[in-house]
């Protein structure tokens, strides 16, 4: 006997997502899983995208290696004295450009400063700039792009044109112009510049992700039940649209660290007495023939840091993309 028309409409409105959520919740309440074939045993909670991603990440050697390298870099950026007991600003011109010596494995730079100590202490500025700039870019870009994608209309059109304007500004050239008039030696002007020119990329990603998420059946069902825009955006749309933003932000963190080193190398980023890999690379480039060790260690630390964050971003992207599974 065919079902009544209103029941068919209710089933269609529920959608596949609602049916899967209902089945998962019923399975959890009954204490039964999908069985050995589905990867869950009796009593297991229903798996989500995030639990599946974490399970994949734990088995990914690329993620484990990059995470260990990043953890080490974060630790030495917070407590550099754990592995470097010297003072990065203490120099002796009598030892300028000398090579490796006992207790000073990386040798000395052109000012007689210990290259090993400066390389260790240089991680603090680079990690601080990268993390703070990424957080600022992710928050600002996600907010503007998410609101534009959710509400659309005139707000979306205006934001898209503003985003195009910021995309047209060359980042390095913009840094040379904006930071050249700032004399502060702290990291905050560099962070502010990166947030100012870095948010459009995250905004585009967030906008597209929100537009895709708000078209799903569960969002339409919540709207039909009278849920407010704030509730739909925070409870239903944002949690299902944040994965691409996390992936792009993770990869962008390494890019921001490289950008800080580039601007410091050009003399408009961090300035002495701040210890930075970019500053040391700039000073070492003038003596690359006579003392190549001055360039080798800070540039190697910079390359390793950027590579670790890029590898981490690739691993997170693979884990958060269900299509790759």
Per-residue pLDDT of the chain (325 residues), as tens digits, is 444 444 444 434 344 344 344 334 434 433 334 444 444 544 555 567 678 888 888 888 999 999 999 999 999 999 999 998 888 988 888 888 888 888 889 999 988 999 999 999 999 999 999 999 999 999 999 999 988 888 888 888 988 889 889 988 888 898 899 898 887 778 999 999 999 999 999 999 999 988 888 888 877 788 788 878 788 878 878 888 888 899 899 989 999 999 999 999 998 989 888 899 999 999 998 888 888 889 999 999 999 999 999 999 888 888 887 665 5
Could you write out the DSSP letters of every residue in 129-190? HHHHHHHHHHHHHHHHHHHHHHH-HHHHHHHHHHHHHHHTS-HHHHHHHHHTT----SSHHH
Model pLDDT, residue 225: 82
Which pLDDT value is given to residue 3?
A: 45
Distance CA 282, CA 152 (A): 46
Structure tokens at 149: 């994608």
In degrees and rounded to multiples of 5, residue 219 shows phi and psi of -70, -40
Predicted pLDDT of residue 321: 72
Q: Is 216 exposed, middle or buried (0-12, 13-18, 19+ CB in 10 A)?
A: middle
Please state, in angstroms and rounded to a whole number, the distance separating the CA atoms of residues 295 and 118.
Answer: 12
Nearest to 95 by CA among 83, 81, 106, 85: 106
Say if CB 180 and CB 204 are below 8 A apart: no
Write out the two tokens for 62.
């690329």
In CATH, the number for domain 49-324 is 1.10.3720.10
Distance of alpha carbon 197 from alpha carbon 171, whole angstroms: 7
Asked if 76 and 126 count as a contact pair (C-beta separation under 8 A), the reply is: no
CB proximity list for 129: less than 8 A, separation 6 or greater: 187, 190, 191, 194, 256, 257, 260, 270
Cβ neighbours, 10 Å, residue 317 = 17
Domain ranges in the chain? 5-38, 49-324
The pLDDT of residue 298? 93
pLDDT at residue 154, rounded to an integer: 86
What are the two backbone dihedrals, phi and then psi, of residue 216, each rounded to the nearest 5 degrees?
A: -70, 160
Kindly report whether the peptide bond that precedes residue 273 is cis, defined as omega within 30 degrees of 0.
Answer: yes
Residue 68: per-residue pLDDT: 95
CB–CB of 293/115 below 8 Å? yes
CA trace torsion 158, 159, 160, 161 (10° rounding): 60
d(CA 280, CA 286): 11
**Which strand (E) or helix (H) includes residue 261?**
helix 238-265
Q: With contact defined as beta carbons under 8 Å apart, do 69 and 304 qualify?
A: yes
Question: Which pTM was predicted?
Answer: 0.79
């Amino acid at each position: 006997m065919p079902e009544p028309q209103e029941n068919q409409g209710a089933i269609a409105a529920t959608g596949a997502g609602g049916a899967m959520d209902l089945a998962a919740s019923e399975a959890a309440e009954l204490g039964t899983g999908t069985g050995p074939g589905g990867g869950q045993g009796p009593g297991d909670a229903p798996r989500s995208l995030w639990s599946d991603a974490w399970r994949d990440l734990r088995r990914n050697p690329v993620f484990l290696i990059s995470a260990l390298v990043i953890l080490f870099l974060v630790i030495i950026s917070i407590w550099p004295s754990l592995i470097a007991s010297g003072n990065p600003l203490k120099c002796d011109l009598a030892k300028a450009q000398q090579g490796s010596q006992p207790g000073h494995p990386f040798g000395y730079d052109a000012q007689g400063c210990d290259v090993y100590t400066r390389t260790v202490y240089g991680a603090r500025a680079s990690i601080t700039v990268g993390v703070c700039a990424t957080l600022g870019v992710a928050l600002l870009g996600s907010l503007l792009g998410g609101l534009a994608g959710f509400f659309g209309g005139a707000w979306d059109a205006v934001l898209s044109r503003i985003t195009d304007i910021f995309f047209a500004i060359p980042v390095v050239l913009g840094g040379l112009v904006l930071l050249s008039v700032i004399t502060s030696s702290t990291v905050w002007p560099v962070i502010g510049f990166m947030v100012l020119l870095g948010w459009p990329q995250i905004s585009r990603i967030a906008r597209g992700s929100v537009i895709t998420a708000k078209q799903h059946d569960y969002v339409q069902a919540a709207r039909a039940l009278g849920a407010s825009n704030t509730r739909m955006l925070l409870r239903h749309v944002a949690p299902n649209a944040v994965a691409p933003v996390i992936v792009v932000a993770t990869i962008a963190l390494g890019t921001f660290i490289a950008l800080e080193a580039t601007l410091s190398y050009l003399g408009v980023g961090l300035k002495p007495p701040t210890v930075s890999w970019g500053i040391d690379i700039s000073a070492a480039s003038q003596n690359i023939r006579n003392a190549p060790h001055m360039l080798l260690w800070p540039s190697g630390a910079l390359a390793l840091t950027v590579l670790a964050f890029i590898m981490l971003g690739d691993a997170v992207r693979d884990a958060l993309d269900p299509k790759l599974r």
